[in-house]
């Protein structure tokens, strides 16, 4: 059976899949909604290049397969000692009201649903990766099943005006200038990782967070190994136990593949284990439960 969600090859209880290092807060754009609260000058307390090299050496302590290391900022190009390569994926960031992001800038839950369904349509033309939009994984599975069942997603997914507007624009644009991806690349399946579960963020000063959008530090690499922090601190361990999440996320059939945005939960209530506030799904409500159960089982197996 086809898998709709990719599983990390490693056991994420002991080895993170991805490791984010915020190399700088300097960025010329200085966007109003910036998570990093970027400014145009560098932070004198940022990790030095030698501390950064030591950090990268420590990551080897996770063992093989070595985590993917992503350098972020600010703008990493503002550091003359660091260079970054380009990628061929559209990485869609959903706003978390942290840093300079404000709650009033957020879209609604229903608009989230519309946008994620539209992203699925768009993934015919470009690879999509969502950040802090974990229930996109749920949407991918549901839409894949509805396609197989030849069922109308607009009705089943309760899609609204935002979806219809975006879909029409995409169709117009596709007629003019978009080429579908080749069959192998189509709908690159999302990776099953989440804050603290296959994911670590190191701030420019060496603080260790489960995500760059979840500002709860579990330690600092200047005095504790990031491997130890990831594996053993109670914050990271709790984030790897979706059964203990509060509200709908803790009882949802998608909790092991989605789990919701822990950062959104924290931003809304101060508790990173609370339910994802921007998901409309009611656990158990998807009509094709038998097929869903099979897909979830298949997708959960590595």
Summarize as ranges the residues that interact with ligand SF4 (CB under 6 A). 135, 138, 248-249, 252, 254-255, 258-260, 275-276, 279, 281
Assess contact for 38 and 25: CB atoms under 8 A.
yes
CB closer to ligand SF4 out of 35 and 248? 248
Least separation in angstroms between CB 279 and ligand SF4: 3
Closest of 124, 140, 167 to residue 281, by C-alpha? 140
Assess contact for 194 and 239: CB atoms under 8 A.
yes
CB closer to ligand SF4 out of 208 and 265? 265
Least separation in angstroms between CB 244 and ligand SF4: 13
Instruction: List the strands of the sheet with 18-22, edge to edge.
Output: 68-72, 18-22, 199-202, 208-209
CB closer to ligand SF4 out of 6 and 42? 6
Least separation in angstroms between CB 233 and ligand SF4: 23
Least separation in angstroms between CB 2 and ligand SF4: 20
Least separation in angstroms between CB 134 and ligand SF4: 6
The count of other CB atoms within 10 Å of the CB of residue 157 is: 22
Q: Whole-angstrom Cα distance, residue 22 to residue 19? A: 10
Task: Go through 254-291 and write b for each residue having 16 or more CB atoms within 10 A of its CB, e for each that does not.
Answer: bbbbbbbbbbbbbbbeeebbbbbbbbebeeeebebeeb
Least separation in angstroms between CB 261 and ligand SF4: 7
CB closer to ligand SF4 out of 22 and 113? 113
CB closer to ligand SF4 out of 73 and 260? 260
Least separation in angstroms between CB 19 and ligand SF4: 24
CB closer to ligand SF4 out of 160 and 178? 160
Q: Whole-angstrom Cα distance, residue 159 to residue 146? A: 14
CB closer to ligand SF4 out of 36 and 128? 128
Question: Which tokens go with 105?
Answer: 């800038």
Residue 183: partners with Cβ closer than 8 Å, 6 or more residues away: none
At residue 70, the 3 state secondary structure works out as: strand
Query: What is the C-alpha end-to-end distance of the chain, expressed in Å?
Result: 13
| Alpha-carbon distance values, 220 to 27, 207, 230 (Å) | 24, 4, 11
């Amino acid at each position: 059976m086809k898998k709709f969600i990719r599983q990390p090859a490693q056991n994420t209880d002991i080895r993170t899949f991805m490791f984010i290092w915020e190399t700088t807060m300097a960025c010329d754009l200085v966007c109003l909604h910036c998570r990093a609260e970027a400014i145009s000058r560098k932070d004198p307390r940022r990790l030095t290049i030698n501390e950064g090299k030591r950090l990268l050496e420590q990551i080897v302590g996770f063992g093989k397969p070595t985590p993917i290391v992503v350098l972020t900022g600010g703008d990493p190009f503002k550091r003359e000692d660091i260079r970054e390569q380009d990628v061929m994926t559209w990485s869609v960031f959903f706003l978390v009201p942290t840093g300079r992001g404000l709650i009033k800038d957020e879209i609604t839950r229903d608009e989230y649903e519309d946008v994620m369904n539209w992203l699925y349509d768009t993934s015919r033309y470009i690879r999509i990766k969502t950040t802090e939009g974990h229930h996109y994984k749920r949407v991918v599975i549901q839409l894949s099943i509805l396609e197989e069942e030849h069922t109308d997603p607009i009705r089943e997914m309760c899609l609204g005006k935002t979806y219809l507007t975006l879909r029409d624009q995409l169709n117009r644009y596709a007629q003019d200038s978009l080429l579908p991806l080749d069959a192998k690349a189509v709908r690159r399946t999302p990776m099953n990782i989440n804050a603290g579960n296959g994911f670590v963020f190191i701030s420019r000063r060496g603080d260790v967070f489960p995500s760059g959008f979840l500002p709860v530090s579990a330690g600092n690499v200047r005095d504790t190994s990031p491997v130890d922090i990831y594996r053993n601190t109670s914050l990271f361990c709790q984030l790897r136990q979706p059964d203990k999440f509060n509200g709908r996320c803790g009882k949802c059939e998608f909790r092991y593949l989605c789990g919701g945005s822990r950062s959104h939960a924290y931003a809304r209530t101060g508790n990173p284990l609370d339910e994802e506030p921007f998901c409309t799904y009611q656990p158990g409500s998807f009509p094709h439960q038998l097929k869903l159960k099979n897909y979830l089982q298949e997708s959960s197996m590595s």
